Every structure is written in structure tokens, then in C-alpha cells.
Structure 1
Amino acid sequence: MGNKGAKKGKPSSELTAKEIAMLKANTKYSEKEIREWHAGFLRDCPSGKLDKKKFVEVYKQFYPQGKADSFCKHAFATFDSNNDGTIDFDEFILAIAASSQGNLDDRLELAFDMYDISGDGQIDQKELTTLISAMYDLVGETDRKGDKDPKKRAGDIIAKLDVGGDKKLSKQEFIAGCKNDPVVRQLLAPNA
């Protein structure tokens, strides 16, 4: 880690024109911003790979008042799109863009994918409780009594939005429900 600059010849140390074009097409970042993000990424991760521990450290910078660990466990698995146990620059910048630049539907879709822990295309009460608790942790929300209790909130959301009556939420039900719940929407997409 004492490496001040990236070594020449490493595939992750230089952005190709094709890579920049792909990132510009899939984010709202300019080439200059992409290059700045890349320089910062290499400064923090000279190997060009971000592991889980470093990922948590990076997220803690964005949410210093919260506890990022629980959220990051799910986020890391979602962002590590090739499942190699690390996040490379492309995966990193696409994840940052999706969680910060996407419209409300995009952010909620990302949240759904992240918390559909079983991968069955549905979120049940246990998964939704995990989602809400992790979001509370991330933003430093400590008042979890009454209507803010994650399990109660998850149960209420499912009861209200479960159109199919299967006690689970589809992606469409989840997105519609979050859009209509200002507290959950504020947690999932604070800038939308």
C-alpha cells in the first residue's frame, strides 16, 4: 500500500478511451469527473481493486454519522457484479452513479435488488426489515420505536402494498410503495 502511484502496464491503472466512453454513456459524469474519480480510486486502492473492508471505509466517509457495515454487506455483493470478491473501478463508478445520480425509480430498483437477499424476485418481511434496519443504521437513525420499528414498518408496508396477497413484495409493488412512503423514500433516495 506504500505505492504512491500506479505501476505502468497494470490494466486497472489507466482508463482506455473505450472504458471512458462506456462510463460516460452509463453515468452523468464528464470525462474529467471520471478521471478525477479514477485518480482518487487508485489513490485509495493502488491495486485497482476495492475489497470489502476498504468498501466499508469509503462508505463511512459518505455517512460519518451512521453505521455502514450492515448496508455495505448487501451493497458490496450487489456492486461486485462479476462476483470476484472485489470491486474494480468500473463496478465502483457505476454503483456510485446508480446510488447518487439515478432517478427515484432507478435508486429504488437498486435497493430492491440489493435487499432481495434470496434472489427470488420478491422481498418478504424479514428481508424488508433487514433493509429498513440497515438504512436506519446508515443514516444514523436511532429512534426505532412505534411506527419507526423496522419490523412493524416492514409488516405495515407489505400489508398495504401486497397486491398479490402472497405476503411478499414484487419489484413493482416495492417501488410503488416506497414512492408513497415519505420516510422510506427519504432513507432510500434522499436527494430525489
Structure 2
Amino acid sequence: MEMGGSTGCFRSRLPPLLTTKEISNLSLKSNLSVEDIQQWYSSFVHCYPHGYLSRNQFIIYYQQLKDESNVQLRPLIEKLFEVFDLNNDNKLDFHEFVLLNVLSSNGSMNEKMKLIFRLYEKEKEKLLSRDEIKDFLRNMFYIFDIPSSKFNLNQVINIVFKTNNINRDEKIYWKQFTEDILNDQALFKQLISLDYYHDYQFVQRSERF
């Protein structure tokens, strides 16, 4: 895990050490060893001595992580921040930071897709057009390294719109769109490159042993 550059990390008054209980709970949730968590925490407080990332610090961190400063991705990175800011304090503490990084790096395809589908869950009435959904998903697939062909993506979007009797120029509720895909395993698999899906599942299983 890389955190910040040489100019971003500095020492000052550091937050308290994690308790044994906090480490154990985070280890269970993240599947990281106690030693890994302690090492992550040491790096985290070195780079972020207040014990959290602000919204802007998180955006900078994620852009550095992806080696990407594309302004179009900034709103999507902000959405990630909001999803993982579990206590809605406009900060990302160590616990929230670890869970996001573990999911981004080691999460299964299902876990990553479900996270993407959650990004608008606070906006119950969010309406999106075909092109808006396509652009959003392609950008999120890039952020999470999820392969998908343009053809498959267009096909899935067309199927969902047709199933709900929505015309080409109309919009669909994001909640409806995601529920249709999550309730149809064939449609879900079609959303990503099929060959890669099987390879990815095999790698995920292999890495657990």
C-alpha cells in the first residue's frame, strides 16, 4: 500500500495506537493479519498524523494510486469517499481506509460490482440515461480494474431498458437498473468480459490458499 509522496508524509503529534480489540475486529473484516494491520497503521499515521483523510486528501491519494489526474474521475472518487465514510463525519478514518483499500485490491468481482452499484444508493430518485450509465460504468470499471467490452456494456444496458419498457431517449432509476442486474446472474456476467470473469474467479480462489 502506497500512501502519499515524500512531501505528503511528515511526523507530528500522532493519534493513539490501536487497541487489541480494534486490531482483531479489523483483521476479521479485512482478512489481513495482525502484523499487516499494525504495519498499515504505522504508515497511515505517518502520512496522516491527524488519524484521518479529509475528502480532498482522499481524492489526491486515489488519483496518485491510479496515477490519474483526470478531472472527470473526481466526482466518482468523491462518491467512493461518501460510501466509505461510514459515520458520515466527512473524514475517512483508518478503519474505513483499510476496508476500501482491501476491497479495491483484493475484492472479488461480485464485491466490486456491488460497491459500484451502491454509489448512488443515497440518491433514491437518481435518474440516468443510457449514455450516462455507460460513461459512469466505464469510468468505475477503470478505477477498479474491471474489464468489460463496449459491446457487452451496450447490450446489458439495452436489455435492462427494454425489459422496463423504457425508450431510447428516456431515463431509468439507478436503483431499478442495478436491481435488475443483481437479480439476473447471466446479465451480471455479461456486464464484464466473460473469459476474464472465469480466469478472475480462478485466481481469487487460488489466492485464498
TM-score by length of 2: 0.66
Higher relative contact order (CA 8 A, sep 6+): 1
CA distance in 1: counterparts of 2:127 and 2:83, whole angstroms: 16
Counterpart pick for 1:4 among 8, 11, 15? 11
CA distance in 2: counterparts of 1:129 and 1:170, whole angstroms: 13
> How far is 1:170 from its partner?
3.3
CA distance in 1: counterparts of 2:46 and 2:132, whole angstroms: 36
The answer as to 2:44 corresponding to 1:41 is: yes
| Compared CA separation, residues 18 and 60, structure 1 to 2 (3 A) | same
Counterpart pick for 1:171 among 179, 202, 208? 179
**Root-mean-square deviation (Å):** 3.6
Report the 3-state secondary structure (helix = DSSP H, G, I; strand = E; otherwise coil) of the residue aligned with 1:169: helix
CA distance in 2: counterparts of 1:100 and 1:30, whole angstroms: 16
- The equivalences for 1:146-161 within 5 A come to 148=150, 156-161=155-160
- The equivalences for 1:42-191 within 5 A come to 42-65=45-68, 67=70, 68-116=73-121, 118-119=123-124, 125=130, 128-129=133-134, 131-132=136-137, 134-135=139-140, 138=143, 148=150, 156-161=155-160, 165=164, 167=172, 168-171=176-179, 173-174=181-182, 176=185, 177-182=187-192
Q: Indicate if the aligned counterparts of 2:11 and 2:46 stay in contact, CA closer than 8 A.
A: yes
> How far is 1:159 from its partner?
2.2
> How far is 1:2 from its partner?
8.6
Letter in 1 for 2:94: F
Deviation per residue, 1:34-76 (Å, 9 max, x gap)? 1111112112211011111110121122210463423211101
Letter in 2 for 1:93: V
Give identity over the alignment, percent.
22
CA distance in 2: counterparts of 1:120 and 1:96, whole angstroms: 29
Q: Indicate if the aligned counterparts of 1:66 and 1:137 stay in contact, CA closer than 8 A.
A: no
| Compared CA separation, residues 139 and 120, structure 1 to 2 (3 A) | same
What is the match of residue 144 of structure 1?
none
CA distance in 2: counterparts of 1:90 and 1:121, whole angstroms: 29
> How far is 1:162 from its partner?
5.5
CA distance in 2: counterparts of 1:30 and 1:5, whole angstroms: 27
Letter in 1 for 2:11: K
TM-score by length of 1: 0.71
| Compared CA separation, residues 89 and 2, structure 1 to 2 (3 A) | closer
Report the 3-state secondary structure (helix = DSSP H, G, I; strand = E; otherwise coil) of the residue aligned with 2:177: strand
Unaligned ranges ≥5, structure 1: 141-146
Aligned residues: 176
